[in-house]
Structure 1
Amino acid sequence: MNMGPQATLLSGDRLHLHHGPIDLIIGVEGTARQSCYQTATERFQTVLTGLVGELPNLRRPKSQADYINPIAKRMARAVRPYTDVFVTPMAAVAGAVADELLAAMLQHHWPCKAYVNNGGDIALHLSGQAEFTVLGPAGEIKINADVPVRGIATSGWRGRSHSRGIADAVTVLAPSAAAADVAATLIANAVDLPGHLSVTRRRALELSPDSDLGDLLVTTDVADLSKADIQRALKAGCAFAESLIRDGLITEVVLSLQGQTETMTAIPAIGACAHA
């Protein structure tokens, strides 16, 4: 049965929106909650169908297509800075959907706090004294209205999407969810040991025939690694993440591989790498 967009109010006054592969949890604090939920539900009706017509171009690397759909435009903008690595706009799809639903709510309402969680890729709105707490690889991360973070995303080979790297998890804080989504994907790809015998890989198309990664190899298993190998892989990811922080694309990142964690942040020192 082909089910259309579904909306359900959950305990804790959260809204659940579901349609095909899109599964959102939305939370709003303040008097505008019900109005925000109504707006989000209305906007959600055409989210999936609006993207379908753009998929052929969204699955192409460095596509210069003239996108019509606003979510597709968000996806294309998010990957535009990455000219030296393989990436398609699909790397930003979950974050861009979250950003779009949040923007729809904020167009007419101004709650003190709101979030749209799309399978772990989160778009945030915070004002006044509002805070948001997310559980990352190294523990809780608290975000307040004063920091330039309005998006959170996590990627890794164990996640719901294919990864070309071996990171267990990479959590990124950025100015938008789409920006965080792309950065988390690419940093997770950079945490890698090319050709290592402990890493099992398969062609992306063998796992998902419509994958935007095509014939590229993606990670399907990582055996126990030596401490030196773990440090080498994390160092590679750290180097790439440092460049993104330096360019202002992300604010903070936490990388995790087999029990070892690295944290990089623009505050207090840009590019500072701390061992956990």
Structure 2
Amino acid sequence: MTRMQARMLPDGRRLHLNDGPIDLIIGVDGGAGEVDRALQAARTRFATVLDELCSELPLLRQPTGAEPRGSTARRMWRATLPLRAHGFITPMAAVAGSVADEMLAAMLDEAALDRAFVNNGGDIALHLAPGQSCEVGLVDRPDRPSLFATARLSAAGGVGGIATSGWRGRSFSLGIADAVTVLAAGGAMADAAATLIANAVDLGPHPAVTRVPARQLQPDSDLGERPVTRGVGPLAPKEIAVALDAGVAFAQTLLGEGLIAAAALHLAGQTRTIGRIDAGRQSEEVPALRGGDPS
């Protein structure tokens, strides 16, 4: 029985790839022959990505240290190496963004494209050829997505990755952010940085915050016994400000180190941004990217 699934979506422009927990939406713009080559390269590369990662899971679930073998795993490792000094992190913090980067690289190795994106559940690797641009729609709650702002990206800006983390997302978080979206040079770094910034949006122990050990929810979690957030009740305005201040301070540190280009932090209806994120209505002239349902 074939495990991997591949199909073009009804719009005829995007490819949907699925293998176990990995679910990708791929969009490509370019000459007809180039697009065909890129999409075939994506199908070919995707066929072994999950098995390669599974073969090294014990190492990838440990704090970032020894270099793994596989190309996707090494992307995870490289993205988390410069973040080790800022706290606990494992290569798994960058897994979604690294898979997106790996798939994008496979396509670009085979085809010359104008624009391309790989959306891995909202963590996106992006390619823009010189002179190309796009507009990214940003959401403030991944469980109830609605646009709060847009970021216009161009090839000259150097942003090749967008990722979101927070306690309401699909992965565990140590903090209380509803969502933290990061723009960075690649998907792997955006993913890892979003994870740590979301962890930093916090108040410490608080009666309105429910936490349980990660291992109780997922026995093989790389977070082990660390308490992950499962609910956030009403917070006072001052408490919201304090938690966001902590996250912004850490995000500013990563911005100063050149690891990220911008970030948007959301908690209880409040938003803080740093770097190049422009709030406003979405332009009709520039293609938009955002997380979405592959159906």
Q: Same fold (TM over 0.5)?
A: yes
Report if the CA contact (8 A) 2:151-2:277 is conserved: no
The structure 1 segments of at least 4 consecutive aligned residues displaced by more than 3 Å after TM superposition are none
Percent of aligned pairs with the same amino acid: 53
Structure number with the bigger relative contact order (C-alpha 8 A, sep ≥ 6) is: 2
Pairing of 1:169-188 with structure 2 (within 5 A): 169-188=179-198
Residue 68 of structure 1: how far off its partner (Å): 1.2
The one of 97, 100, 124 equivalent to 1:98 is 100
Corresponding residue of 2:76 = 75
**Cα distance in 1 for residues equivalent to 2:84 and 2:41:** 36
Secondary structure of the 1:192 match is: coil
Report if the CA contact (8 A) 1:245-1:266 is conserved: no
Residue 134 of structure 1: how far off its partner (Å): 2.1
Pairing of 1:1-276 with structure 2 (within 5 A): 3-12=2-11, 13-31=13-31, 32-64=34-66, 66-84=67-85, 85-136=87-138, 137=140, 138-265=148-275
Superposed CA offset, 1:45-87 (max 9, x none): 10001111110000001221x4210000000000000123000
**Cα distance in 2 for residues equivalent to 1:172 and 1:220:** 22
**Cα distance in 1 for residues equivalent to 2:158 and 2:206:** 38
Instruction: Give the aligned residue type for 1:223.
Output: G
**Cα distance in 1 for residues equivalent to 2:277 and 2:261:** 8
Task: Give structure 1 stretches of 5+ with no counterpart.
Answer: 269-276
What number of residue pairs does the alignment pair up?
266
**Cα distance in 2 for residues equivalent to 1:93 and 1:248:** 21
Corresponding residue of 1:274 = none
**Cα distance in 2 for residues equivalent to 1:182 and 1:121:** 11
Instruction: Give the aligned residue type for 2:81.
Output: R
Q: What is the TM-score normalised by the length of structure 2?
A: 0.88
**Cα distance in 2 for residues equivalent to 1:267 and 1:56:** 37
Superposed CA offset, 1:136-175 (max 9, x none): 1331222111101000000110000000000001000000
**Cα distance in 1 for residues equivalent to 2:22 and 2:202:** 29
Residue 133 of structure 1: how far off its partner (Å): 2.2
Secondary structure of the 2:199 match is: helix
Q: What is the TM-score normalised by the length of structure 1?
A: 0.94
Instruction: Give the aligned residue type for 1:255.
Output: L
Change (3 A) 1:198 1:3: farther
RMSD: 1.4
Secondary structure of the 1:74 match is: helix
